[in-house]
A and B are shown apart, each in its own frame.
Chain A
Amino acid sequence: MTPDDPGRRHIDIRVPVLARVEGEGSLEIRARDGVLEQLQLRIFEPPRYFEKFLEGRGWEEVPDIVARICGICPVAYQMSAVQALEQAFGVVPDDWVNRARRLIYCGEWIQSHALHIHLLALPDFLGFDNAIALAGTHPEVVRRGMDLQRLGNDLIRLFGGRSVHPVGVRVGGFHRAPDPEAAADLQRRLEQALPRAEALVAFLADLDLPRDDQDFISVALRHEREYPMYAGRIVSDHGLDIPVEAYADHFTEEHRPHSTALYSRLHGRPYLVGPLARLNLNHDRLPPRAAAALAASGLHLPSRNMFHSLPARGIELLQALEDAHGLLADYAPARQPHAGVEPRAGEGFGATEAPRGLLWHHYILDDEGQVRLARIVPPTAQNQARMEEDLYRSLEAFGLHHDDDALRLRGEMVVRNYDPCISCATHFLKVRVHRDGEEPR
């Protein structure tokens, strides 16, 4: 390393534990002669074997089990699972159940996006190590974020009893319908929060975000009317348009030695799921206020800049608030908040949009409704190949002449754009690897 040629020095950066991500991951960057030699995003969350110990469990237990895969997005796991089990049993929930499910899911998006924006991501962009320090200089920003987070949690609580591992969800619908008074109270709070969420979008749009355009494939659900969350077909901006059942015909997973997460690819290529992918593919499905906030933000879609994930999350938070506000407007409790369920042997698939992206479940059940096979593909596993590809390109574009601290921070910011949920990414299934023509990179 010579002082007059910093770009050619040898770099060896290790971030042994990534901060402000959920779960445990690390990042290793090695460069020689100005060229990135090795870059590994390691996920070392220990295996928890959910898919294996689901085998032999009863269908009623599944929503309570899969919630425990992720403490930040338990509703997403419950929503994909109940859809799959209902398909297997031939159960079709009524409109009340579908609306209530979208409501509890909106709660999770609001909660998770508010948490990620304020506690995990924003400190990077405003020059702080963490949100507590950020609150010292930007108390109103952090307080607004925490208020929105609480509102999201309370919306989950309305239908689920508690916001982490909610107890209200069951196959067929819900165990209990919320009281109209409690729903009306929440409706008022959502109303009051709408302008604050709009202000949040404007605030995020004003941030001076890094510019780093890259080519990538966006993948998300697409619904005929709604912004995708609870239902839809799986689409990409490269022409994919498939039903949820056909996922495994197009997407493959590969196990790499340095990670306990599996790498997903679409027709052999990395792809993106999550807020920016959803917004790229579905901005025409935003409700009016979210659409207006998007138009005012100056964000041009489709965007190729992963740093736009931050404002995308803000727009989605507003979208979820607006949707929930509309859905609660004419709320009345159902006499029977769930469909009748008769277990039978069968197979089912479920896919929904977790806050971090597409979450796909597949179950085979026996005639008593016990799980014979479970396969779960979480969003972070789907993003992992894209994350590594992004890190390569971003760090080279950023410039290896930057010092180690700057490179480390940029690397961490790139990873945090994906809001990786590493606890979920650790996941377990039979994989087909090294198929003909698909070389591990």
Chain B
Amino acid sequence: MKPRIAVHKFSSCDGCQLAFLNAGEDLLELARQVEIVHFAEAGPMDPEAPVDIAFVEGSISTHEEALRIRRVRQASRYLVTLGACATAGGLQALRNFQADGVGGWTRAIYAQPAFIESLDTATAIARHVPVDLELWGCPVNGAQVFTAIRRLLFGALPFVDNEKVCQECKRRGVVCVLVTRGIPCLGPVTRTGCGALCPAFGRDCYGCFGPAENPNSPALARRLEGLGLVPEAVARRFHFINSQAPGFLETGLDYTGGPP
């Protein structure tokens, strides 16, 4: 019997699912090697069916999602998070800093707030159920996803690179934007995996792959202050796409005056 995989969506932009849908021939090859039992955007619909690997995109931001992720976990041998939302809450987790919750935001936006169901926080999948493998990135890329499938089906966890964007930059021979141009780059604390894309474009890394192993965020934050960033701007650097990730969360809070 072919191994079975599923792709589930929670609160997200759908961009990480494109790691599959943009894969072209690789997607067809994948469909030859495994059975794709659930992947609503691609067509197959069977969300409760047991699978070998469940890929989960998106964070948990409603009560319904908090219940649904448990059923996904129960039906899957491996659960793999796909990208920043599922792994650390994503950009929408910026709501978590609202001390009064999202009620005020909902009332400001919707004429009929009573019909809007939303939790006060958007949280990572691992806050709700055990996760076997976390794939970082906003978005993840096809190589991360297809390598993970291959390795997991051999019963091995894939190697996940925890080193910093800086190392990747040096290997690519990209001139350091922070040192040479004083651009507030997060490369020194951010996990690689993108290929040092932003510095190669002459701009700042904005941390979309989350914190690297042992990030020295406080030291980088002081350096950013030295470049002239006001404390709120330093906080915004860390409280962005992966604001809830350990290593970014605390440093951001240090520059906003404590926890929410």
Contact = CB atoms under 8 A, between A and B. Distances in A.
Chain A partners chain B: yes
A117 to B, nearest CB: 13
Given A161-B197, A257-B112, A428-B109, A69 B13 contact: yes
Contacts of B236: 57-58, 61
A53 B28 contact: no
Contact of A165 (B9, B15, B41, B112): B15
Interface in B24-55: 24-25, 27-28, 31, 36, 40-45, 47
Interface string A37-77: 00000000111111111000110010011001111101000
Nearest to A161: B197
B241 A115 contact: no
Interface stretch (A27-35, A147-155, A357-365, A383-391): A147-155
Max count, chain B CB within 10 A of own CB: residue among A19, A119, A164, A434: A164
B202 interface: yes
B203 A135 contact: no
Q: Interface centre among B10, B90, B203, by most A CB within 10 Å? A: B203
Given A72-B18, A115-B22, 4 more contacts: A133-B43, A147-B24, A149-B24, A165-B208
Interface of A: 17-24, 45-53, 57-58, 61, 64-65, 68-72, 74, 111, 115, 119-120, 123, 129-133, 135, 142-143, 146-147, 149-150, 153, 161-165, 167-168, 170, 175-176, 254-258, 260, 423, 428-431, 433-434
Contacts of B202: 175-176
A162 B140 CA distance: 11
Nearest to B20: A119
A164 B42 contact: no
Contact of B109 (A257, A423, A430): A430
8 contacts: A48-B122, A49-B109, A64-B240, A71-B13, A153-B22, A161-B201, A260-B116, A423-B14
A255 B16 contact: no
Interface of B: 9-18, 21-22, 24-25, 27-28, 31, 36, 40-45, 47, 61-62, 65, 90-92, 94-95, 102, 105-106, 108-112, 115-118, 122, 138-139, 141, 194, 197-198, 200-203, 206, 208, 233, 236, 240-241
Contacts of B16: 71, 164
Given A19-B45, A20-B43, A61-B240, A71 B115 contact: no
Contacts of B43: 19-20, 123, 129-133
A150 B111 CA distance: 41
A290 B14 CA distance: 31
Contacts of A68: 13, 15, 90-91, 138, 241
A61 B122 CA distance: 21
B203 to A, nearest CB: 4
Given A175-B203, A429-B109, A74 B15 contact: yes
Contact of A255 (B65, B95, B111, B122): B111
Contacts, number: 180
Contacts of A433: 111-112
A71 B41 contact: no
Contact of B118 (A17, A47, A146): A47
A313 B112 CA distance: 36
B144 to A, nearest CB: 13
A164 B201 contact: no
Contact of A46 (B61, B108, B112, B233): B61
A167 B241 CA distance: 14
Given A20-B42, A162-B197, A47 B13 contact: no
A49 B105 contact: yes
Contacts of A123: 43
Given A22-B14, A74-B15, A150-B24, A119 B42 contact: yes
Contacts of B138: 68, 165
Contact of A129 (B11, B44, B112): B44
A147 B24 CA distance: 7
A47 B116 contact: yes
Contacts of B41: 19-22, 120
Contacts of A20: 40-43
B91 A257 contact: no
Contacts of B25: 143, 146
Contacts of A153: 22
Contacts of A50: 91-92
A395 B99 CA distance: 47
Listed from nearest, the 9 A-B pairs whose CB atoms lie closest are: A71-B15, A130-B43, A428-B109, A146-B24, A433-B111, A255-B111, A48-B92, A53-B94, A71-B13
